[in-house]
Amino acid sequence: MQTSFAPNLLADPEFAESEKVVRTCVHCGFCTATCPTYVLLGDELDSPRGRIYLMKDMLENDRPADAETVKHIDRCLTCLSCMTTCPSGVNYMHLVDHARHHIEKTYKRPWPDRQMRRLLGSVLPYPAVFRAALSGARLGKLASGLLPKRLRVLMDMAPPTVPKASPMDRPQVFAAQGKRIARVALMNGCAQQVLMPQINEATIRLLTRHGCEVVVARGSGCCGALTHHLGQDGSGFAKANIDAWTAEKSRSGLDAVVINASGCGTTVKEYGFTFRADPAYAEKAAALSAITRDLTEWMAQIGLQPPVVETGQRVAYHSACSLQHGQRVRREPKELLAAAGFEVTDVPEAHLCCGSAGTYNLLQPEIAVRLRDRKVANIESTKPDLIAAGNIGCITQIATGTALPILHTVELLDWATGGPKPDRIANRSGQPPA
């Protein structure tokens, strides 16, 4: 695509990258067929190609965002399915990140929208605040009929009980069992440790059982994606992680940063790019991105121990967009589940998003529910006993649309190799192999 960005704009690294991305697009339209919003809405402006035109027009002229552009960019899930499909290698993620940043700088959203975004950005990344908010939301549910629609959606997503904080999420070192083969930092994250603390617990058990010393580094926490995707500044969170893991690396060495929430993994793998123009962080960020691994990537690398129980479960593996499109990790989770003794089914339309997409299900509930229902119908068509996924956002989103149990992949791998049986699985299996 031809571009005409002014030279003064191209001196800015963000504009320079966007120009490069736009130039790569040959507007062939292959991406439209796999874009969930185009598939649902059928509007060219809700397709990757249409959005690229809108973003080009806005950024090339450095003009303030208008309501029409904002509407179509806001409807984008950032699922990155278009990046998987694109034959020209268009980096849609970098372009849409820049466009969102530009929108937040130049566009005044309606008051309720601004308040909702501010609320999400000031609650979700902070586990203690989020936990308190969820407890309050349980009471708020009683009066949810009186609340504005947006807040009602938020209340309805709150779990009926809020789990206690896990002591394993505190900064500490977990010793490897047997011979130590590696030392890794586990990113303990933000919302996940509040909603499902058992995920980090299962991860730590699995890693230590496989000879990894696991560090939960003091000062690490939210990856910054939640605020970043709201168009807010997430760099403080990212810098805190980079400082915490770099300190650990210098003190005792780190072979990997292991992440069990694929949305966060995609963001941390991008730290090197994000801080490329920051002399204080560029080198450290790139070094950490280079050793960041999704939990399943890391387990495939070090090798899974043979199962010690016969789990007897048929599992529909839901491939989170951030894992399959953002990180291109597709084979490993299914192969690990199969090696652990699960029967893994192939879900139709696996490339389509479930509608979670960070805070999308709260900000665009109508589209999110349609995508969830389509995903659930596809999953249930495979007649599984349970669903596995590698991202907390997908787990909470899909759980609101099905009675099937949905677990994190790591909970199943942990159970099969010697951990406790997850309490959401019906008591019909879990015997030692014959």
Quote the least distance from Cβ 323 to ligand SF4, whole Å.
Answer: 14
How far apart, in whole angstroms, are the C-alpha atoms of residue 329 and residue 339?
Answer: 17
Question: At which residue do the structure tokens 């940063």 appear?
Answer: 257
Rank residues 367 and 386 by Cβ distance to ligand SF4 and give the closer one: 367
Rank residues 329 and 337 by Cβ distance to ligand SF4 and give the closer one: 329
How far apart, in whole angstroms, are the C-alpha atoms of residue 74 and residue 229?
Answer: 10
Rank residues 51 and 269 by Cβ distance to ligand SF4 and give the closer one: 51
Beta bridge partners of 252: none
* 3-state secondary structure (DSSP) of residue 291: coil
Quote the least distance from Cβ 93 to ligand SF4, whole Å.
Answer: 8
Quote the least distance from Cβ 25 to ligand SF4, whole Å.
Answer: 3
Quote the least distance from Cβ 179 to ligand SF4, whole Å.
Answer: 43
DSSP-assigned states of every residue in 328-377: ---HHHHHHHHHTT-EEEPPTTTTS--S-TTTHHHHSHHHHHHHHHHHHH
DSSP-assigned states of every residue in 5-30: --HHHHTSHHHHHHHHHHHH-----G
* Element at 386 (helix H, strand E): strand 386-389
Which residue in 5, 15, 18, 36 binds ligand SF4 (CB under 6 A)? 36
Give 151-157's long-range contacts (Cβ < 8 A, gap of 24+). 151/116, 153/361, 153/362, 153/365, 154/362, 157/361, 157/362, 157/396, 157/400
Quote the least distance from Cβ 277 to ligand SF4, whole Å.
Answer: 24
Rank residues 29 and 219 by Cβ distance to ligand SF4 and give the closer one: 29
340 lies in the site for ligand SF4, by CB under 6 A: no
CA neighbours closer than 13 Å in the CB half-sphere of residue 12:
13
Quote the least distance from Cβ 24 to ligand SF4, whole Å.
Answer: 7
Tell me which DSSP letter residue 216 carries: E
Residues between 46 and 105 that touch ligand SF4 (CB under 6 A): 48-49, 51, 76-82, 85-86, 88, 90, 92
Rank residues 77 and 259 by Cβ distance to ligand SF4 and give the closer one: 77
Quote the least distance from Cβ 32 to ligand SF4, whole Å.
Answer: 7
Rank residues 165 and 369 by Cβ distance to ligand SF4 and give the closer one: 369
Residues between 275 and 334 that touch ligand SF4 (CB under 6 A): none
Residues between 10 and 29 that touch ligand SF4 (CB under 6 A): 25-29
Rank residues 283 and 366 by Cβ distance to ligand SF4 and give the closer one: 366
How far apart, in whole angstroms, are the C-alpha atoms of residue 382 and residue 303?
Answer: 28
Q: Segment near ligand SF4 (CB under 6 A), from 32-40, 61-69, 251-259, 415-423?
A: 32-40
Quote the least distance from Cβ 4 to ligand SF4, whole Å.
Answer: 18
- CA 84 to chain CA centroid, Å, is 16
SS3 content of the chain, % helix, strand, coil (to 5): 55, 10, 35
Count of residues near ligand SF4 by CB under 6 A: 25
Contact string 215-244 vs ligand SF4 (x = CB under 6 A) = ------------------------------
Quote the least distance from Cβ 119 to ligand SF4, whole Å.
Answer: 24
Quote the least distance from Cβ 70 to ligand SF4, whole Å.
Answer: 14
Phi, psi of 153 (to 5 degrees): -60, -45
35 lies in the site for ligand SF4, by CB under 6 A: yes
Q: Segment near ligand SF4 (CB under 6 A), from 43-51, 112-120, 204-212, 417-425?
A: 43-51
Rank residues 2 and 427 by Cβ distance to ligand SF4 and give the closer one: 2
* 3-state secondary structure (DSSP) of residue 422: coil
Rank residues 249 and 374 by Cβ distance to ligand SF4 and give the closer one: 374
Rank residues 100 and 117 by Cβ distance to ligand SF4 and give the closer one: 100
Two tokens, residue 320: 């989170």
* 3-state secondary structure (DSSP) of residue 255: coil
List, in order, residues 6 or more apart from 328 with CB less than 8 Å away.
Answer: 84
Residues between 134 and 193 that touch ligand SF4 (CB under 6 A): none
Two tokens, residue 174: 């977990």
Instruction: Write out the residues near ligand SF4 by the rule CB under 6 A.
Output: 25-31, 35-37, 48-49, 51, 76-82, 85-86, 88, 90, 92
